[in-house]
Amino acid sequence: MKALMFGWEFPPHILGGLGTASFGLTKGMAENGDIDITFVIPKPQGDEPKDFARIIGANSTPVAWRDVTWDHVQSRIGHVMDPQLYFNLRDHIYADFNYIGVNDLGCIEFSGRYPDNLLEEINNYSIVAGVIARTVDFDVIHSHDWLTYPAGIHAKQVTGKPFVIHVHATDFDRSRGNVNPTVFSIEKDGMNHADHIITVSNLTRRTVIEKYGIHPDKVTTVHNAVEPLSDELLNVEIPPGKHNKVVTFLGRITMQKGPEYFVEAAAQVLQKVDNVQFVMAGGGDMMEKMIRLAARRHIADRFHFAGFLRGKEVYELLKASDVYIMPSVSEPFGISPLEAMQMGTPSIISKQSGCAEILDNVIKVDYWDINAMADAIYSIITYPAMYRELRENGLKEVDGIRWKKAGAKVIDIYRNLIH
């Protein structure tokens, strides 16, 4: 079976959970065998893993005919793509897109991030998708998140192949209800065109059914999973000089993630205990507000903002932490608590997180219930048995949550659509 996937991020260059999830799922599907995946991303860097998916960069797919030599193509994009594929794609250009502004290879430039002209980039991505869909052979189309829905729709219209969309988040999660009408209409359009919708949690499934008016039969939940961590990451060194208990928040400091509830809970705990430090790692539009809030609660000496962490730093912090907390107001899934559990760090998550549906050995609280949150933090840092039990059971539990199972479910969905 052959699948054409459209995504926006792919490790190692990731901006959020979307890249991790797309990668994990692709790998999990490949582990089930008998599947051939072509994965389209806007701007590959060449160091993406290629063992289980063929990666095509939208920025190296020609949309306007240029007479170039093999050597030229090889020197320009040889590190991300086989030049032969470039020429195959060039044979399938279906209209003249010179007016958009293309480079010497006839390709559109992509940022691969979330720029201000995001809508334009989404549109360009969909133009590119038309060329790829005409070139590549596949049985099913799979779009990851709203940015790539238009591309998937285009591919479906060109080929008539079944179209699956994967909802990693909806705008209702990102905006606490104040949806952006443009984003909503793109999402809704994708859902209407899709032959099947995969959501990452039952929470998201309900949103899709209730807020977007989609028939429940068309929507299936496939929970995310985690990759087992490499030994290198599991054995990272904890930075020396740790004397206190550490409670960590890790993620974008935005409305969706509920950072203010973490600060309030920290203020409560610090009234009673003093050998504890709170860390908020990440960046976002609410960061300054949170710094002011911590100051107003007079806990700034114990509440630290670590900024945006990369790669190994994340795991160092997780390992050094005694508690990981994710008080998200609305979290479609939330992979980070699973990663914390892999590092042996007990987690507190909000009941409004999708991962709460599959996790037992974590503490679940309502995101607004700062009392319960503070109680849970206090308990884990005060009672050693609590820490040990959560840590050990958590390690065991998260070990059983594998992408391979999720991949098998997705393949099943494909099968039902094809036959």
Nearer to another protein, 154 or 391 (CB): 391
Nearer to another protein, 171 or 264 (CB): 264
Report the nearest approach of another protein to the CB of residue 376 (Å). Answer: 7
386 binds another protein (CB under 8 A): yes
Q: What is the 3-state secondary structure (H, E, C) of the chain?
A: CEEEEECCCECCECCCHHHHHHHHHHHHHHHCCCCEEEEEECCCCCCCCCCCCEEEEHHHCECCCCCCCHHHHHHHHCCCCCHHHHHHHHCCCCCCCHHHCCCCCCECCCCCCCCCCHHHHHHHHHHHHHHHHHHCCCCEEEEECHHHHHHHHHHHHHHCCCEEEEECCCHHHHHCCCCCHHHHHHHHHHHHHCCEEEECCHHHHHHHHHHCCCCHHHEEECCCCCCCCCHHHHCCCCCCCCCCEEEEEECCCCHHHCHHHHHHHHHHHHHHCCCEEEEEECCCCCHHHHHHHHHHCCCCCCEEEEECCCCHHHHHHHHHCCEEEECCCCECCCCHHHHHHHCCCCEEEECCEHHHHCCCCCEEECCCCHHHHHHHHHHHHHCHHHHHHHHHHHHHHHHCCCHHHHHHHHHHHHHHHHC
From the list 210, 392, 399, 412, which residue makes contact with another protein (rule: CB under 8 A)? 392
50 binds another protein (CB under 8 A): no
Phi, psi of 246 (to 5 degrees): -125, 130
Interacting stretch for another protein, rule CB under 8 A, among 21-29, 37-45, 317-325, 367-375? 367-375
274 binds another protein (CB under 8 A): no
Which string of b and e fits 216-235 if b means at least 16 CB within 10 Å? eeebbbbbbbbbebeeebee
Report the nearest approach of another protein to the CB of residue 374 (Å). Answer: 7
357 binds another protein (CB under 8 A): no
Nearer to another protein, 189 or 397 (CB): 397
114 to 133, contacts with another protein by CB under 8 A?
Answer: none
Report the nearest approach of another protein to the CB of residue 400 (Å). Answer: 12
364 binds another protein (CB under 8 A): yes
From the list 73, 363, 406, 413, which residue makes contact with another protein (rule: CB under 8 A)? 363
Interacting stretch for another protein, rule CB under 8 A, among 32-40, 65-73, 243-251, 267-275? 267-275
From the list 89, 290, 376, 411, which residue makes contact with another protein (rule: CB under 8 A)? 376
393 binds another protein (CB under 8 A): yes
From the list 8, 110, 305, 378, which residue makes contact with another protein (rule: CB under 8 A)? 378
> Does the N-terminal peptide bond of residue 11 adopt cis geometry, omega within 30 degrees of 0?
no
Report the nearest approach of another protein to the CB of residue 351 (Å). Answer: 9
Report the nearest approach of another protein to the CB of residue 365 (Å). Answer: 9
361 binds another protein (CB under 8 A): yes
Report the nearest approach of another protein to the CB of residue 405 (Å). Answer: 18
Report the nearest approach of another protein to the CB of residue 298 (Å). Answer: 17
Nearer to another protein, 109 or 389 (CB): 389
272 binds another protein (CB under 8 A): yes
Nearer to another protein, 155 or 266 (CB): 266
Euclidean distance between CA atoms 248 and 319, whole angstroms: 10
CB 125 within 8 A of CB 107: no
192 to 231, contacts with another protein by CB under 8 A?
Answer: none
Interacting stretch for another protein, rule CB under 8 A, among 265-273, 283-291, 314-322, 330-338? 265-273
From the list 123, 309, 379, 395, which residue makes contact with another protein (rule: CB under 8 A)? 379
375 binds another protein (CB under 8 A): yes
- Is residue 82 exposed (0-12), middle (13-18) or buried (19+ Cβ within 10 Å)? middle
**What would the two tokens of residue 384 be?**
């050693």
Report the nearest approach of another protein to the CB of residue 290 (Å). Answer: 23
Interacting stretch for another protein, rule CB under 8 A, among 18-26, 28-36, 243-251, 376-384? 376-384
268 binds another protein (CB under 8 A): yes
Residue ranges binding another protein (CB under 8 A): 268-269, 271-272, 360-361, 363-364, 371, 374-376, 378-379, 382-386, 388-390, 392-393
